Amino acid sequence: MTAITEGTLLWQPDQERIQNSGIHKFTTWLKDNKGLSFPDYNALWTWSVESLEDFWESAWQYHGIQSLAPYTTVLEKLVMPGARWFTGARLNYAEHVFRHASDTSPAIVFQSEHVPLTEMSWCELKRQTASFAQNLRDMGVVPGDRVAAYLPNIPQAIIAFLACASIGAIWSSCSPDFGTPSVIDRFRQIEPKVLITVDGYRYNGKLHDRRAVISELQASLPGLEKTILVSYVYDKSDTEALLFENLIEEETELTYEHLPFDHPLWILYSSGTTGIPKAIVHPQGGIILQHLTTFAIQQGLTSKDRLFWFTTTGWMMWNYVVGSLLVGATIVQYDGSPTYPGPHVLWELAEKTEISSLGISPALIGICMKSGLHPGKQFNLTKLQNIGVTGAPLTPDGYEWLYTAVKKDIWVNCTSGGTDVCTGFVGGTPILPVRAGEIQCRLLGAKVEAFNDAGNPVLDEVGELVITLPMPTMPVYFWNDLGGSRYRESYFELFPGLWRHGDWIKIKSTGSCVIYGRSDSTINRQGVRMGTSEMYQATEGLDEVLDSLVVDLEYVGRKSFMPCFVVLKDGVSLTDELKQRIKTRIGKLASSRHIPDEIYHVQQIPRTVNGKKMEVPIRKILLGFPLENCVSPGSMSNPDSLSFFIELANTLKT
């Protein structure tokens, strides 16, 4: 079969979809209320960044943001870091969620590996949130206090978060599949007053007991006053902790603390693969405004939609998905493995729960492709209108599979952003065509540029992804980063005053974009740079290859060495013939300069708990850096996979 090429047209919206889009509704409002007209999306995007304050003020008005006090200025200073948005405003995240409470659709639909499908109404969600919030207040929780959650992707996590938001307490969560030291590294930084934890969870058909972890966390968190336990997989645990189920029984009104726009809503964490994770603090007002804009305008999500994204509470996508409640959408949650008992699980869930917007990763798409799955034939996906993809670049073959095996008339929305801002920089809109391997556009209000080595913006060339104007969800600060030095070093050192994100991007003259992976893992061979995503498109396009990793080892005083690591299907051996086919395919689809020096067969590719390939840590290990300076095993989903690379590093020293 001929490989599909980047830029191949796969889908175009019809007029009905365009007329019903959030972009069309917003531009109609702009014309009626501001006298503004735009011939196309690119013109709208240009206005959104050239008239940044007008755009975000228009978005505020369009969404009907509720503030106890009027704002005095939209943006105090056009600087990064340090931009302050909507000064004077006082608002509350949870209030903006529950203003959309509906009797016609559920707020949450939930299923796990051991819990059958259940639904929670908006009324019940609000009642339980109010009860839990009152109990937190009775424990002495006030605005600014931290509440840490060690929970899976279950309704109790959403209830607890919304309760915290209503009070103004700062939420922070980790998934129970994190290693205990990694959880402690995160939560100890923020000194929570309350810890909400779970007794265990099921994943891949196996029970994981987490009761012993609770005492470890309690002993490691200074200032912890209360522990709340969710009995999830065991009937009742022998614990002194308060039981979650007893804290959601009261009948009480939900009240809201109205707090400044930049009051902290939650604390997210960087991956922590190479050291103590950065504790990233996001402003509640920025999240409200940005997520409303993303869901209502950019994507056109409404209260009629059901949104699912495969995620855990340890990834920003959980926080992002919760944001869909701001437009009244129904959240579909799933706790468990996306491939147990087979890769059909989420497609079956989509049919059963009538998901309209389904979010998955390129890695899972690859697994479905290799398994021969044909969801469009096997399941009734008539309600499915949109597939979201993030976490890594999606290959052109992956795009094509979605249109041939899932659904011909569907909007594929590939997005790239980061935990750092809890939103996207580049992504999609259903009014534009979808082309293989390309992200449709730069998102409204995000001044994204590709910078060359000279620090100049370029089109149709690969460069550093740089944000040149402030965004409302940029961190208020990093926790415990007195003076802000760690924050500045993370984003603003390479191009002072500009946000350098660390991704390698090409922005095309058409307005579409291609992400090539992390810029610090870019392959540079004989002066020709290439993103690792292009290498993976070549290697993983072979039926025998399930997964792969490539790193470029640049040595001082000796020739560089570029190994490629492949995970093969059961029963397949890495023969000389297969090695040659891998090299030939890389030479054809990437370039002859990027053919690896050696190919190794491994059982697993090291990945973070969020499923991302650990290119930079593995590169450091193979270059001979001490393991403790390269990676924190607790931040990994498969730390056992490191042993092969540690042994290989010893042989490469000679």
Both 499 and 598 in one domain: the answer is no
Backbone phi, then psi, for 612, in 5-degree steps?
-90, 140
Both 502 and 552 in one domain: the answer is no
Both 447 and 571 in one domain: the answer is no
Both 489 and 620 in one domain: the answer is no
Both 549 and 479 in one domain: the answer is no
Q: Residue 87's pLDDT is what?
A: 98
Q: Residue 527's pLDDT is what?
A: 57
Compute and round to an integer the Cα radius of gyration of the chain: 24
> Span 207-220, mean pLDDT?
95
Where does a domain end: 453, 476, 507?
A: 507
The answer to whether position 46 is within a domain reads no
Least confident span in 223-237, 267-281, 614-628: 267-281
Short-list 271, 280, 219, CA closest to 632: 271
For residue 360, give both structure tokens.
């998955």
Q: Residue 620's pLDDT is what?
A: 87
CATH number at residue 630: 3.30.300.30
The answer to whether position 194 is within a domain reads yes
Short-list 473, 593, 450, 587, CA closest to 519: 450
The answer to whether position 424 is within a domain reads yes
Q: What are 448's strand-pairing partners?
A: 467
More confident residue, 444 or 541: 444
Both 207 and 343 in one domain: the answer is yes
Both 499 and 538 in one domain: the answer is no
For residue 507, give both structure tokens.
């922005």
pLDDT-derived band at 48, boundaries 50, 70, 90: very high
pLDDT-derived band at 612, boundaries 50, 70, 90: confident
pLDDT-derived band at 526, boundaries 50, 70, 90: low
Where does a domain end: 454, 474, 507?
A: 507
Both 105 and 204 in one domain: the answer is yes
What lies within 8 Å, CB to CB, of 389 at 6+ separation is 359, 360, 361, 362, 365, 398, 412, 413, 414, 415
Both 116 and 249 in one domain: the answer is yes
Both 365 and 288 in one domain: the answer is yes
Q: Residue 271's pLDDT is what?
A: 77
Q: Is residue 366 within 8 Å of 372, Cβ to Cβ?
A: no
pLDDT digits (tens, 9 = 90+) for 308-325: 999 999 999 999 999 999
For residue 328, give both structure tokens.
């009244």
Where does a domain end: 492, 507, 522?
A: 507
Both 498 and 460 in one domain: the answer is yes
More confident residue, 5 or 25: 25
Report how many domains make up the chain.
2
The answer to whether position 77 is within a domain reads no
Both 161 and 277 in one domain: the answer is yes
The answer to whether position 512 is within a domain reads no
> Span 450-460, mean pLDDT?
93
341 preceded by cis ω (within 30°)? yes
Q: Quick count: other Cβ atoms within 10 Å of Cβ 76?
A: 13
Q: Residue 604's pLDDT is what?
A: 96
> Which is it for strands 226-230 and 242-243: parallel, antiparallel or unpaired?
parallel
The answer to whether position 62 is within a domain reads no
Q: Residue 654's pLDDT is what?
A: 63
The answer to whether position 545 is within a domain reads yes
Give every strand in the sheet of 416-418, ordered side by side.
416-418, 423-427, 441-442
CB-side neighbour CA atoms (13 Å) of 289? 30
Q: Residue 558's pLDDT is what?
A: 67
CATH number at residue 368: 3.40.50.12780
The answer to whether position 430 is within a domain reads yes
More confident residue, 532 or 590: 532
Q: Which domain holds residue 644?
A: 530-652
- What distances in angstroms separate CA 142 from CA 169, 170, 194, 259, 263, one per listed residue? 6, 9, 11, 12, 13
